[in-house]
């Protein structure tokens, strides 16, 4: 075997081994038939805002969230998932309206369906979310009625080869048990790069709320975020990652009953996650 043949054989082995490794963190990633993925994450976030027209009337909200999501592949293109998260309040809030800090759990169930036409990728994902306000805020601050919402993601992407996939996502979530159903929507445009050993993601997300009259009086909220992530594959089936979001811009938020508004000045989130394929 000459030198040129040896190089070609080595390259073939290299690219074959990369192709066999599963991309656990991509925008269209789902476990194969009979496989399970586990995603364990902890994240911290902070929002800072000011009431307009009221000097020195600033406020900040901090949160710490621990999350576990299990996903099972029914087929190579269809999966179901279940998740649980616990949100810890790091500040007590005002007038006794801080979080209960004992049982702030959120639950969700979901399903995903992938398909492709040549190099064009599509995914439809639905989800059901619920939590108990009494657990979050304490039984003396709210009723015990469970809050529920439904969500849908419509995703399209293009497989450019070499592990590069640009994608766009439209998401919509709606309360299903409130008098005036809050409706949150977003459009995300991003790109994913996977090499077999590491993966990078970057995206711009524009989101807006509509008709949230339970808390607000008719003014829609809008915000633009940068989302990013970096994952390193410890083995072919274990990825360790860091992810986050940074608020680029936000319009004035809701009109209160007294006609006041507030402006979000700063917002960010950062998290660590481990994703495992079984």
The domain limits of the chain are 3-277
Count, in order, helices (H) and strands (E) of the chain.
Answer: 2, 12
What is the reported pLDDT for 218?
46
Q: Alpha carbon of 88 to those of 45, 67, 101, 278: distances in Å?
A: 11, 11, 6, 29
The CATH number fitting domain 3-277, selected from 3.40.47.10, 3.60.15.10, 3.40.1190.20, 2.40.160.40: 2.40.160.40
pTM of the model: 0.80
Q: What are phi and psi of 254, to 5 degrees?
A: -55, 155
Tens-digit pLDDT profile for residues 134-153 = 666 655 555 667 788 899 99
Tens-digit pLDDT profile for residues 5-44 = 444 444 443 334 344 467 899 889 999 999 999 999 999 9
Q: Alpha carbon of 129 to those of 60, 96, 105, 149, 278: distances in Å?
A: 26, 26, 11, 5, 25
């Amino acid at each position: 075997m000459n030198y040129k043949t040896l190089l070609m054989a080595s390259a073939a082995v290299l690219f074959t081994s990369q192709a066999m490794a599963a991309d656990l963190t991509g925008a269209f990633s789902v476990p194969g038939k009979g496989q399970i993925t586990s995603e364990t994450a902890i994240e911290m976030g902070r929002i800072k805002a000011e009431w307009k027209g009221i000097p020195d009337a600033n406020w900040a909200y901090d949160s710490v969230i621990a999350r576990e999501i299990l996903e099972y592949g029914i087929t190579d293109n269809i999966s179901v998932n279940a998740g649980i998260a616990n949100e810890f309040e790091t500040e007590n809030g005002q007038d006794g309206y801080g979080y209960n800090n004992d049982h702030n759990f959120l639950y969700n169930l979901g399903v995903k369906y992938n398909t492709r036409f040549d190099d064009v990728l599509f995914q439809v994902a639905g989800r059901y979310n619920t939590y108990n306000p009494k657990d979050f805020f304490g039984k003396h601050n709210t009723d015990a009625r469970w809050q529920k919402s439904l969500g849908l993601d419509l995703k399209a992407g293009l497989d450019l080869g070499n592990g590069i996939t640009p994608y766009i996502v439209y998401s919509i979530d709606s309360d299903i048990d409130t008098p005036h159903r809050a409706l949150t929507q977003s459009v995300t445009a991003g790109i994913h790069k996977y090499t077999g050993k590491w993966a990078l993601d970057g995206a711009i997300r524009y989101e807006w709320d509509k008709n949230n009259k339970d808390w607000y009086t008719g003014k829609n909220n809008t915000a633009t975020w940068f989302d990013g992530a970096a994952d390193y594959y410890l083995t072919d089936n274990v990825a360790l990652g860091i992810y986050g979001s940074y608020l680029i811009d936000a319009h004035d938020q809701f009109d209160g009953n007294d006609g006041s508004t507030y402006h979000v000045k700063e917002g960010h989130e950062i998290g660590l996650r481990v994703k495992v394929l079984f």
